[in-house]
Structure 1
Amino acid sequence: MSRIVPQFGLGTFRLSDQILIDSIKTALDLGYRAIDTAQIYGNEAEVGQAITESQVNRNDIFLTTKIWTTHYTADQLIPSLKQSLQKLRTDAVDLTLIHWPAPQLGISVEEMMKNLLEAKQLGLTRHIGISNFNIDLTQQAIDAIGREHIATNQIELSPYLQNQKLVDFLNQQNIDVTSYMTLAYGKVLHDPVLQQIAQQHQANSAQIALAWALQLGYSVIPSSTQAAHLLQNLQAQQIQLSAEEMQLIAALERQGREVDPAELAPVWDK
């Protein structure tokens, strides 16, 4: 199965207003062609404005949003996505994800996935997928709608949280892995192993962490508000790490999860 999600994109978590608009327009100028947002980020309108004001045609941009937990039911999901499309100033997004499985809400995976599949069948989104699902819940999603409809599972992944069991399962199922929080809120930037590898490549530790994820076949969506950092992140695609360097980074695993909301998260695979 060929990759659906572009390997490199721009994240927009925690960004808003003119800072976000400028970040997106700069990124698009530099060559980014994928943008990731979500209903709960509260910034879809700015994302839509930035794309409209940019020099890049909407058809050349892979745009992702995520349905928030309050919108999973049949009467909520499609209307909420239509609202997102209005804010994003587009007739359809390229990818729509279930943001968190939120088991405590009492909505079954089967129900939310079938509602999301209906949105795809209506042409509101080209592809659909999941985010923050563990192995068991991913299997439930597959059982509900078929793995051919699940483009990706967007999960927290970094050198400090490598999620190998889940990644192996997704690879077996031919479901793209999208890595968010690849820099672990900046914690990996000061890692001596990454810094040492970076010196060998005349790069910085952020680029090494991103190159590691890219080399493992993951899609990455780092964010930045600074043009220099946006460009450096993009240039991580040119870095080729040796097998030995990849092994050194693999040894950094410490189950260092940064995002784990009790009411939304599943039981994570260890």
Structure 2
Amino acid sequence: MNGVPARWNSASAQELFFYLLSHPQGRSRDEILEDLWQLGRDAASVNRFRVTVHRVRTALGWSGALVEEYGRYRLAPEVLDASDVQALYAALQQAEATLEPRARLEGFRQVLHLSEADYLPGVRAEWAEAAREEHRALYVRACVEVSLAYCEEHNCAEAAAALVRALKRDPYVGENLHQRLMACLTVVEGKYAAIEHYRRFLRFLREDLEDCPMPETVELAERIKCGEGVCPRALQPRPDAACLLVPGSQARGVLP
């Protein structure tokens, strides 16, 4: 709080803090007991909860840092506002509300910056995995928004690079993003790069999901092989030898 890092002398207190940070709307005592410690309500568990709440407040240096209202426990707004998580959601809200294209792009780039790292990577609990999944989905969505914005600017290299970032974070996110990346790659690196990604995607589907591509993905690949222009913003694919990647960007395949 106020620029002073919390001093956690209890693993349970730290876990409760991050749990409530992931549920800013608050949780009931019974939900907390079940989610964190798989405990029902009895005298021992209630006492453990009371002690842990006290330790959270002590670590944050403020008795009002964790409040209880109508049976729900939550972190105070001042605590939430000081967190990276709240900064992320504030940036997302601002980006969503922005209509001017360049400002919207910069807003979602800020969302990417704030969500770059994995969320709570050292916590293996089920509740943490659910929070990570939400965080991952937010990152992927921001990548897609950035890609669309660059596409509007005809910056194909950066549009493709943003899709690569999305698919690296979550290759299961949706086949439509793989299709979009294939189209981008025809412009940025040529049809061979697009087909290379397609073949990697086929292997991923077969080996990881025991599935096959959708018919429209197969059709898209065949059109690319024939040299047909598949990007709606480009009349023709660029020559295969013309790599238009900007320095520091990598739009090449995302699947092993």
> TM-score category by the smaller chain?
under 0.3
TM-score (norm 2): 0.24
More strand by proportion, 1 or 2?
A: 1
More helix by proportion, 1 or 2?
A: 2
TM-score (norm 1): 0.24
